[in-house]
Homo-oligomer: A and B are copies of this chain.
C-alpha cells in the first residue's frame, strides 16, 4: 500500500486550520499533538487542570497568541477541555479529555524516548560532521 497519496500542490499542514485541507487527516492530527507548543501543552496539562496564565508561565517562552492558537486547536480536536467561568475577572480552566490524556501519554513517551537517545544522536552527529569535514 502506498504510504501517502499524491498531493497536487501547496499542501503544507501547520498547526493552524488553513484553507487547504487536502491532506490525510491523521497527519494533521499528528502535527497538532507533536507541534512545538502542542507537546508542551499536553505535558503541562498532564498533571491536572490549569488556568491560561498558569500554562503560559509553566511553558515560558510562548506568546499568548500561539498558546491560544494551540489550545484552540487541541480543544477542537477533542484533546483539551475548556471551562470558562463567567466571573469578573475571567477565569478559564483547561484540562485534558480522556483522548487528550492518552495522547499526552503517548507523545510523552515518545518525547522521553528521544530525550534518552539524545546522547546517541549527538554522537552520531559528531561522527557525521567529522567525516564530512575531511
In contact, A6 and B117 (Cβ under 8 angstroms): no
- Asked if A92 lies at the interface with its beta carbon under 8 angstroms from chain B, I say no
* A contact residues, range: 35 or more
Set of chain B residues within 8 Å of A6, measured between Cβ atoms: 60-61
CB atoms of A25 and B110 under 8 A apart: no
Cα A2 to Cα B57 with chains together (Å):
9
Chain B CB within 8 A of A75 CB: yes
**24 pairs of residues in contact across A and B, judged by CB atoms under 8 Å:** A2-B60, A3-B60, A4-B59, A5-B60, A7-B61, A13-B36, A26-B111, A30-B34, A30-B110, A33-B114, A34-B34, A34-B110, A75-B128, A76-B124, A76-B128, A77-B121, A78-B128, A99-B117, A99-B121, A99-B124, A102-B113, A106-B110, A107-B110, A110-B110
- 8 cross-chain pairs, A with B, having the tightest CB-CB distances, nearest first: A78-B124, A26-B115, A34-B34, A76-B128, A29-B114, A7-B61, A77-B121, A30-B114
